[in-house]
Amino acid sequence: MSNILVVDDDKSILIFIEQALTDSHQIFTSETVACAEEISNNNTIDLLIADLVMPKKNGIDMIMEFKKIHPDIKILAISGGGGITGRFDYLPIAKLVGAEDTLKKPFTVTELRSSINTILETKH
Ligand SMILES: [Mg+2]
């Protein structure tokens, strides 16, 4: 059982991930980076699942900030693409700034669980 914080401006993604993981983990969800920061200050978060394209603060900045403030946090970056065309791929950049793994939307429950298990197993 790990504490997992999911940040995505798309509420349907939050619901999807929460339903997929709630049997085995404590799930926190947030639609904004500001709210996510508050949750992580009040709870020990083991894994941050970070959307990369969000209206106010982008996910790349969020990942860098979380890694700085919480050095032990693990990160899974998720994105369906960004930029004007929606085709720009931010996922490799997320890895460069410290994400342990990335998943391209849309992904399945199996892919999500597999990625999370790998990240959390390599924790210690
Ligand atoms: Mg988004």
Please give the residue range of the domain that contains residue 57: 3-102
**Is residue 109 one of the residues assigned to a domain?**
no
pTM summary value:
0.94
Distance 124 CA to ligand 1 centre (A): 31
Count of domains for the chain = 1
Distance 40 CA to ligand 1 centre (A): 20
Distance 9 CA to ligand 1 centre (A): 5
**Is residue 119 one of the residues assigned to a domain?**
no
Given a cut of 90, whether residue 15 has pLDDT beyond it is yes
Band of residue 14 on the pLDDT scale cut at 50, 70, 90: very high
Distance 95 CA to ligand 1 centre (A): 17
**Is residue 123 one of the residues assigned to a domain?**
no
**Is residue 35 one of the residues assigned to a domain?**
yes
Distance 120 CA to ligand 1 centre (A): 24
Given a cut of 60, whether residue 56 has pLDDT beyond it is yes
CATH label of the domain that carries residue 36: 3.40.50.2300
Distance 118 CA to ligand 1 centre (A): 24
Spell 32-56 as b/e; 16+ CB within 10 A means b.
ebeebbebbeeeebbbbbbbbbbee
Distance 89 CA to ligand 1 centre (A): 13
Average pLDDT over residues 56-73: 94
**Is residue 82 one of the residues assigned to a domain?**
yes
CA nearest neighbour of 49 among 100, 7, 97, 106: 7
**Is residue 121 one of the residues assigned to a domain?**
no
Amino acid at 37: E
What percent of the chain is predicted at pLDDT more than 70?
Answer: 94
**Is residue 118 one of the residues assigned to a domain?**
no
**Is residue 108 one of the residues assigned to a domain?**
no
Which pLDDT tens digit goes with each residue over 73-98? 999 999 987 666 667 789 999 999 99
Which pLDDT tens digit goes with each residue over 37-52? 999 999 999 999 999 9
